[in-house]
Structure formats: structure tokens, C-alpha cells
A and B are shown apart, each in its own frame.
Chain A
Amino acid sequence: MNRRTLLATAALGLGLAFGGSASAQGLDKVKACFVYVGPIGDLGWTYQHHQGALELVETYGDKVEIAFQENVPEGADAERVLTQMALSGCNIIFTTSFGYMDPTNNVAAKFPDIKFEHATGYKREHPNVSTYNARFYEGRAIQGHIAGKMTKTNKIGYIGSFPIPEVVMGINSYYLHAKKVNPDVELSVVWAFTWFDPAKEADSAKALIDQGVDVIASHTDSTAPLAEAAKTNGAVIGFGQASDMADYKPSPRVSSIIDNWAPYYVKRVGELLDGTYEQVDSWAGIPEGEVEIGEITDAVPAEIKAEAEAMRDAIAAGTYHPFTGPINKQDGSVWLAEGAVAPDGDLLGMNFYIEGISGEIPK
């Protein structure tokens, strides 16, 4: 950037600051910043977000500059990192973990000209805060179907990270669809209380395997649960989470949920460039391509594979919603009546298990 364009950008920046409606005119160049909860090399959640960030550079070339910080703890530290990013000239900041919800809103209040995008949260306290999420529960439904059909011990497991609606939603969807095809199935949930701690994730998987579980779904960020399942020589299977985790094909990884954030990132930064950017609450899933189902391997019999793919296609076509009634809550009270479809509001605040799951959600 030479001095003239620098001055021009500065002048434009001033114009934006004093001109009021910032989004009415586009920007010449966007600096997009990302805050990650784990390392890029986790091969899971953070890796996928970073792939999306790289796609921005691929698409817009030198019109976009990216910056990121890895391993940012959720909480007060995040606020410092966000402030630092805001001061260093970021135009749009993507905060990619649920725990950044309050820090994002707090910092957004102080920098009204900078756009903030918070992944998986629900608070938009200021006009410059948008939220975006993916309908992971759609993928969980397909995993649940495979789990219910594949389990020999009739015990399936789920490694939860934190008891937040997104994870509870995944557990319910997984169990619901396993139960549908296998009424004897029992679900064990282990809460790891971390997003990224490979040793603890492996221990959680081991605890489940020791209890006789033979299909494990995980909601944490690393490949450690699959590595633990791999030690059993095919007796235990699992799924890639957030990323394809293709290194564990064909078994224990029999399928996966892939988060594809690139289209969303490209769209939002594009809007910032051409001046059409507006606050949104985005929640896309399989139909939009934001959630992808990784290849179902040959470790799954062809018939089950076909059923799973049919379900995926039905969800993509919009003809099937994973939470379609009748569904009761854990205490037996009615949640969804026959044929009713879960409203998004119920899902986003989900804090209950459905009927049949034992145990309680930690508070």
C-alpha cells in the first residue's frame, strides 16, 4: 500500500466515521480478523474456520487481508484480544466459539464502526453484531441413524464439551434417530468440559469404551476420540467432527460432519466490499451446504449407507426435519405434537433431554 492509497483509505475511514451509515458504501479493502479457541492444527473445528478464512484470500485476492489469533481462552482474555484486533484496523472480526458471546458484545459496544460476527451465539446487543451458526443437528441425525444400526452392544456414546444448547441439540438428535431404528439403544453422555484437550478427550472415549460403548460421537475439537477408537481394531467406530478427519478412514471414522464456513465468510466479506452488509442471524445447514456429510465408508453395510444418504437428501430437499413430533421431553411431558416441527427458538435455547435419555444436564 503506497502513501496515496493509505491517505485515501484514511480519508475514507474518516468519512465512514463521521458519515454515519457505514454500510451504505463499500470498502476498497477489508481486513478480516478471526479469533480461534484452539490451534489451527486441531484438524477439527478451528481448522475448518481457518480454511474458510483462507478461502477469503483465494476469492478476493489483495482486496482482503486476514489476521487471526489461535488458542484464545473464552472469557476475559478474549475481550483483550478483541480490543487489540479492533484497534489494529480490522474491519470485520469473526469470533468462532460460543464462549466469546459476551466479550464480543462488550467490545462491539466500544467500536460501532467495526462489524462483529459471533459463531454459535444468540446475543446481538448492538447493531454491529451478527451471529451465524450451522445446523449441526441435521448431521447428528444421520450419525444417530448409523449408530443405531451399527451398534452391537446397544450402547452408544457421546462426548459433550459444555452443556450449551448447541451440544444438547446434537445429543437429542443423535439419540432420537438411533432410538428410531433400534429401540434397545442406550446412550451414555460424558461431559469433558473442554473444547480442546486431546488427552482428556481420549480418556473420555476410553471411559465410554470401558463401559461397553461401541459407537462414539464427539462434540470436541480434536481427533483424539477417533485415535482412541482406532486402538480397538475395528470393534468401536466413531465419526469425524467439524472436519472430515479422513486420516481415520475407513474405520473407526465411518462418516463425518464437515463444517463448511467458507461460503458464509465469502458472502459476508463480499457484502462489506460492495456496501450491502447488514446485521443478520444466519443459521444454515445441509440444504445450504454449510453442513456437509463426509463420505460414508465401506465399514458401513451398503443398505445402511443408502438409508443414511436418503435421510441426508431428504433434509437437503427440505422434506424432512430431524425434530419432527411426536417427541416428549425427558420428564414425559409433550414437547412436539404429532407432525409438529421444532421451532428454531426452542432449538436455540434447548436445555432439556428428550424422553429416554438418562442422566441430567449439568448446570
Chain B
Amino acid sequence: MFGGIDPALLISALMVASVPIILAAIGELVVERAGVLNLGVEGMMIMGAVCGFILSVQTGSAFMGFVGGAVGGMAMALIFGLLTQYLLANQVASGLALTLFGLGLSSLMGQGFVGIRPPATGAVPFGPLADIPFLGRVLFSHDWVVYLSLASVAATWWVLRSTRTGLILRAVGESHDAAHALGYKVRKIRMLAILFGGAMAGVGGAYISLVRVPQWTDGITAGAGWIALAIVVFAAWRPWRALIGAYLFGGISVLQLNLQAAGARIPVEYLSMSPYLITILVLVIMSSGRGKAALSAPASLGKNFHASR
């Protein structure tokens, strides 16, 4: 016990609280590594949340809900992809429009689903493992999406670092002209990355409406997509740092609520401020001296590509 708070409960709570942000951030990280800046994460998340909710209520299966979430997010991403990759629309404007569109459309679609409870997503049965003191509570008491989020971080890290696919993706993001000259299909690769980002954001959104707050309410994501975007920058486009960033954000927000509930005499304002202070601090440290190179964004980030140019 620390200040009246059980660390095992705290860690397990922060792992759950961070899942939507991790999923969305990993998706966006891959998109940005391919040189596309999609600011519509919030819109894709909320569409994932509503599509997932509707599908899981209709089918009675929580798993189908997550599939629905991925499809909803991908549908939104497809619109963004067509606009920016084929019609060469401005990426920043299209992304912002996607968020506004998603918020409105999800509210319309969710009209008939207010006040319904979705099927429950239970914890994965680990049997005796869940009874191990401390570790059991922290590691073996979650639903499958928590493990999916961790697996997605590891898989993305491995793919980006050690596979040919990752190399091509990064090449497209660093210099689309060079990648094109080598014969890679820049537009196709970017479209696939955008769809992946949409699916991940959609699953993250579905996690909010199906597990964290099992209900549908307008505007349920309440800015989680923007935090995911910030975490990608915080992580300097590296998967494991994105995980750390998400746990830091999720952890401190859960910690401050727990400290309040436990009656600790720490002013709430300082705790609410701390994730942002730490972000600034990390950025300052990373952008000074030797670490500077590691901070650099993909060179073609946000630039549209057309073969004739």
C-alpha cells in the first residue's frame, strides 16, 4: 500500500484506461511513418465506437463489436485516403473535416442506441495464474483487447524495424520520390497504412463504448483521439515510446483520481498538469544535444504525392 492506494489495482486500472489511446496512437504512428498526417483520429475513433456498439448489440457478440469498430474506422479512413491520395486534398484540412464529420455522423447513427447495454467483454480466463499475488492482478486479469493492444505495439515495432515491409513503409515516408523511382507504389502503400490506422482507431473507439463505458453516448470519446495524436509526437514515431507515453498519460490521470479518492492531500491541479509538463520536458531533453536526430519526423510527413511531380 502506498498512500492508501494498492499499486496492483492502480497498475491494472491504468493498463485498461490506456488501451484506446495505445491502439489509436499505434495506428496513427504507422500512418505518419508512411508520410501521411491524418488529424481525423478522433472522428475515426468515434465512428469505431458507434459502429462497434451497434454491431455488438445487433449480433449479441462483443467480438463482432470490435470487428464492427475496425470496419467503421476503416470506412472513415477510406474517405480520408481517397481525398488526400487520389484527389490530392490538403491533409490537415481533410483530417480536421473527418473529425467533425465523424462526430456528427456517429451522433446520428447512435440515436436509436442510447440507453442500451452492450454484451460484456469478460476477462481472459488464465486459471491459477490470476491468483498469483500482485502479478496476477496486474497481468492476468484483463480482457483480450488489453493484450491485443500490447501485442500490436510489439508487432508494429518488429515490422517497422526488421522486415522488408517496414523498410518500404519507412522509405515511402522519408522520401516518396525516391521510393517511387525505385518502383514502389507510393499511393497504394499509403492507402494501406491509412486503412490500418483507421482500423486501429476504430478498435480503440469500440473499446471505449463496449468496455470502458459500456454504453453509447454522443461524443463518448471526448478527445481521446487528440491525445493519441499528441502521443505519436511525444514518442518520436517509435512504438515502445508510444506505449510509455500512453501509460504515462493514462497512469497519471488514473493516479490523480485514486489519490483523490484515497484522500491524499495533494492539490489536484498539479497532478492534472503533470502529464503535459512531462511531455514538454521530454521534448526539450530529446531535442537538445545528441538525441536530436532521434526526434526528426518522417521527412515527407504531410506532403502529398503525385507521380508527375
Interface residues of A (CB under 8 A from B): 38-43, 70-71, 157, 188-194, 196-204, 206-208, 210-211, 213, 222-224, 227-228, 230-231, 247, 358-360, 362
Contacts and interface: CB of A to CB of B under 8 A. Distances in A.
Contacts of B17: 199, 203
5 contacts: A201-B213, A204-B257, A207-B261, A211-B262, A362-B268
Contacts of B111: 41
Interface stretch (B80-88, B216-224, B300-308): B216-224
A198 B262 contact: no
Contact of A230 (B117, B219, B260, B263): B117
B105 to A, nearest CB: 14
Contact of B217 (A42, A70, A207, A211): A42
Contact of A43 (B217, B262, B265): B217
Interface in B197-245: 208, 212-215, 217-224
B261 A208 contact: yes
A247 B117 contact: yes
B6 interface: yes
Contacts of B212: 199, 202
B291 to A, nearest CB: 33
A215 to B, nearest CB: 13
Interface residues of B, number: 41
Interface in B243-289: 253-254, 257-258, 260-263, 265, 267-269, 272
Nearest to A47: B114
B9 interface: yes
Contact of A211 (B115, B218, B220, B258): B258
A199 B224 contact: yes
B117 A39 contact: no
B138 to A, nearest CB: 13
Given A43-B114, A208-B261, A199 B219 contact: no
Given A203-B253, A211-B261, A247-B117, A38 B219 contact: yes
Residue among A199, A228, A231 with the most chain B CB within 10 A?
A: A199
Given A41-B110, A188-B261, A362-B267, A193 B6 contact: no
A329 B272 CA distance: 28
The A interface, classified by DSSP as helix, strand, loop or mixed, is mixed
Given A188-B263, A362-B267, A227 B258 contact: no
A213 B117 CA distance: 24
A190 B301 CA distance: 41
A24 B169 CA distance: 73
B160 interface: no
Contacts of A203: 13, 17, 253-254, 257
Contacts of A223: 115, 215, 217
B218 A41 contact: yes
Given A41-B107, A157-B261, A247-B115, 10 more contacts: A41-B110, A41-B114, A41-B217, A71-B219, A188-B263, A194-B222, A200-B253, A203-B17, A210-B6, A210-B261
Contact of A359 (B13, B263, B269): B263
Contacts of B20: 199
B4 interface: yes
Nearest to A42: B217
A158 to B, nearest CB: 10
B114 A210 contact: no
Contacts of B223: 197
Contacts of A198: 208, 213, 215, 217, 220, 222
A211 B212 CA distance: 18
Q: Nearest 9 pairs between A and B by C-beta?
A: A39-B218, A207-B257, A41-B218, A198-B213, A197-B222, A247-B115, A211-B261, A207-B261, A190-B260
Contacts of A227: 117, 213-215
Nearest to A186: B263
Contacts of B213: 198-199, 201-202, 222, 224, 227-228
B265 A190 contact: no
Contacts of A38: 218-219
B272 to A, nearest CB: 7
B269 A362 contact: yes
A193 B13 contact: no
A224 B213 CA distance: 6
A207 B263 contact: no
A280 B254 CA distance: 43
Q: Which of B20, B260, B261 has most chain A Cβ within 10 Å?
A: B261
Nearest to B264: A359
Interface in B86-129: 107, 110-111, 114-117
A207 B115 contact: no
A190 B220 contact: no
**For A71, A193, A200, which residue has the most chain B Cβ atoms within 10 angstroms?**
A200
Contacts of B262: 188, 211
B281 to A, nearest CB: 23
Contact of B263 (A43, A191, A201, A358): A358
Nearest to A210: B9
Contacts of B13: 203, 206-207, 210
A147 B309 CA distance: 70
Contact of B220 (A71, A199, A230): A199
B215 A199 contact: no
A207 B254 contact: yes
Contacts of A360: 265
Interface string B1-28: 0001110011001000100100000000
Contacts of B4: 211
B2 to A, nearest CB: 13
B218 A42 contact: yes
Contacts of B268: 191, 193, 362
Interface string B120-147: 0000000000000000000000000000
